[in-house]
Amino acid sequence: MASIERTAYPKLKNCISQKELNDKYTPLLNEKNQAYNAAKGDIFVIGYLALLKCFQNLGYFLPLEKIPETIIKHIKQHLRVEYPSNKIEYKSKTTLYLHHKSIREYLNIKQYDDEARKMLVETILRNSYIMENPADLINSAIDILIKNNYELPAFSHIDKVTQKVRTSVHNSIFETVFSGVTNEQKKTLDMLLNVDDEKNLAHCVRACFKCIINQY
């Protein structure tokens, strides 16, 4: 599994500065109007804007319980809304999903679907022949989804697809190369398993590469 820290997958910082709150999480006038039109009641307006601002900065919806209280508090203060909690709860998942749908439409973002997954697989498949590092493959997948206005799936999903496609490509390359190796060359390769010291090992490796290169 690739480390999310080594990829470009967007994630929240552990500590969000006041400057970042002001720059990235302050709702604009048109965003506030959108929220008041789409949500009914102060708590849902706050929730809608919290989901919207996080999506703008991440490219996917955070679970409500993972939205930092600092962001919710900042939005509350900006709206001048008196609400005792800095946590957002939706009693109805239907309302939450309707807000998700409304935000996608507002931002002109498409939900991750079969077409997006096909695009993801094709990108990773194509790049697996020229990229070795799984993080680079994941980054190429993220890039193509963002360019095509798709919502990002969970990192674990992208990582799982990357591992599966990359393994398939490597197996295909191995089978292609090995199918051209003669029985004599296979015996030379088997010698790698029967060496007594590093000198003999180096000799066997050179012999293996030489006979395979000569084959092509």
Q: What pLDDT digit, counting tens, does each position of 126-151 carry?
A: 999 888 899 999 999 999 999 999 99
Residue of 84, 89, 82 lying closest to 50 (CA atoms): 89
8-22, 77-91, 160-174, 198-212: range with lowest mean pLDDT: 198-212
Give the CA dihedral 143, 136, 100, 64, nearest 10 degrees: -150
Look at residue 208 and tell me whether its pLDDT is greater than 60.
Answer: no
Tell me how far apart the alpha carbons of residues 215 and 26 are, in angstroms, rounded to a whole number: 64
10-19, 96-105, 113-122, 184-193: range with lowest mean pLDDT: 184-193
Most confident of 88-102, 138-152, 190-204: 138-152
Instruction: Enter the DSSP assignment of 25.
Output: S
Q: Which long-range contacts (CB under 8 A, 24 or more apart) does 178-187 make?
A: 180/215, 180/216, 181/212, 181/215, 182/215, 184/211, 185/211, 185/212, 185/215
Q: CB of 145 within 8 A of CB of 183? A: no
Tell me how far apart the alpha carbons of residues 165 and 170 are, in angstroms, rounded to a whole number: 9
Q: Where does the pLDDT of residue 181 fall: very low under 50, low under 70, confident under 90, or very high at 90 and above?
A: low
* Helical (H) or strand (E) element with 179: helix 155-179
Look at residue 216 and tell me whether its pLDDT is greater than 50.
Answer: no
Look at residue 213 and tell me whether its pLDDT is greater than 60.
Answer: no
Provide the whole-model pTM. 0.79
> What confidence score (pLDDT) does residue 86 get?
77
Percent of the chain with pLDDT over 90: 62
| Residue ranges of domains in the chain | 7-107, 114-179, 183-215
